[in-house]
Chains A and B, each alone.
Chain A
Amino acid sequence: MALMRWKNRDLYDPWADFKQLQNEINELFDIDRVPTSKGLYDRSIALPVDVIETANDIIVTCELPGLTEKDMDVSITSNVLTIKGTKKDEREEKKGKFYRKESWSGSFQRTISLPGSVNAENIKADFNNGILTITLPKKEEAKPKQITVNVK
């Protein structure tokens, strides 16, 4: 069993379950399906992203339906990752009438501060079925290390 630093503050919180329930109920009313325009750059739309930390990598996924790799621009400066691009309206002709319009077009940008330093040389970015997956390998010093204790 690995020895870990105590950080789970909610473990003995009697209200933790209630808080979780409250969050879940709040989430039910959150279904607006349209990306919000919150974030650092409030002029552009913030796309939904996931940031996942595994033992060796930090994985950032982003939903970009209908885009091609030419429309997006991913850059990294030290440990700040920026995903930006433009989503074009695919309809060239503006004739015909709309019954419903929920999709959006325009420019977007997300800036993510990564939790640790990453190896900038080995970053992989895949785009498949409208989902962009960026795998950022952690630097050796940021990886968890196993320390064996010798019994004397």
Chain B
Amino acid sequence: METKQITGQDRRVCPSCCDIYEDDGKIILKMEMPGVEKENLDIQIDDSLLKIHAGKNTLEYKDAKYLVREIRDADYHHEFTIDDTIDRNKIDAKLNQGILTLTLHIKESEKPRKINVVAK
């Protein structure tokens, strides 16, 4: 049985399931990307555009007959616009069992501050 891994530039793309939530001064993006290896992940940040492209490994079996085919044969692609409150230099990415977690830190200057009232 011969297998071939296909992932390329001209492949179809689709967005993956994505959760975005705020947690303790951080914005967390969690994307479900089954079949993605760390090497095929491309995360770019260009001014206010955050681009995520993930190549999905699909095994192509020789002389195989698909009886059921429900898994989409496409790469994952996401584009997000981020505003100035996000610290561009503090973005962490983690890939674990098909789940990509991006942690975007909010700039210190944008966080809510407590102003002490001094009574005279």
Which chain A residues have a beta carbon within 8 Å of chain B's beta carbons? 31, 33-34, 48-57, 59, 61, 63-68, 90-91, 93, 95-104, 112, 115, 129-131, 133
CB atoms of A96 and B68 under 8 A apart: no
CB atoms of A129 and B37 under 8 A apart: yes
A-chain residues with CB within 8 Å of residue B65 when the two chains form the complex: 52-54
Any A CB within 8 A of the CB of B71: yes
CB atoms of A100 and B33 under 8 A apart: no
**Complex Cα–Cα for A78 and B21 (A):** 45
**Complex Cα–Cα for A71 and B59 (A):** 24
CB atoms of B67 and A31 under 8 A apart: no
| A52 and B66 contact, Cβ closer than 8 Å, known pairs A63-B71, A65-B99, A99-B21 | yes
List the A residue with the shortest CB-CB distance to B25.
A96
A-chain residues with CB within 8 Å of residue B20 when the two chains form the complex: 98-100
Expressed in whole angstroms, the minimum distance between the Cβ of B86 and any Cβ of chain A is 13
B-chain residues with CB within 8 Å of residue A63 when the two chains form the complex: 34-35, 71, 98
**Complex Cα–Cα for A99 and B28 (A):** 10
Output the residue of A48, A49, A98, A102 with the most chain B CB within 10 A. Answer: A102
List the A residue with the shortest CB-CB distance to B67.
A51
B-chain residues with CB within 8 Å of residue A49 when the two chains form the complex: 68, 70-71
Any A CB within 8 A of the CB of B24: yes
Contact sample, A vs B, 18 pairs, CB 8 Å cutoff:
A48-B71, A51-B66, A53-B67, A54-B62, A55-B63, A64-B98, A66-B97, A66-B99, A67-B97, A102-B17, A102-B19, A112-B68, A115-B67, A129-B35, A129-B36, A129-B57, A130-B33, A131-B98
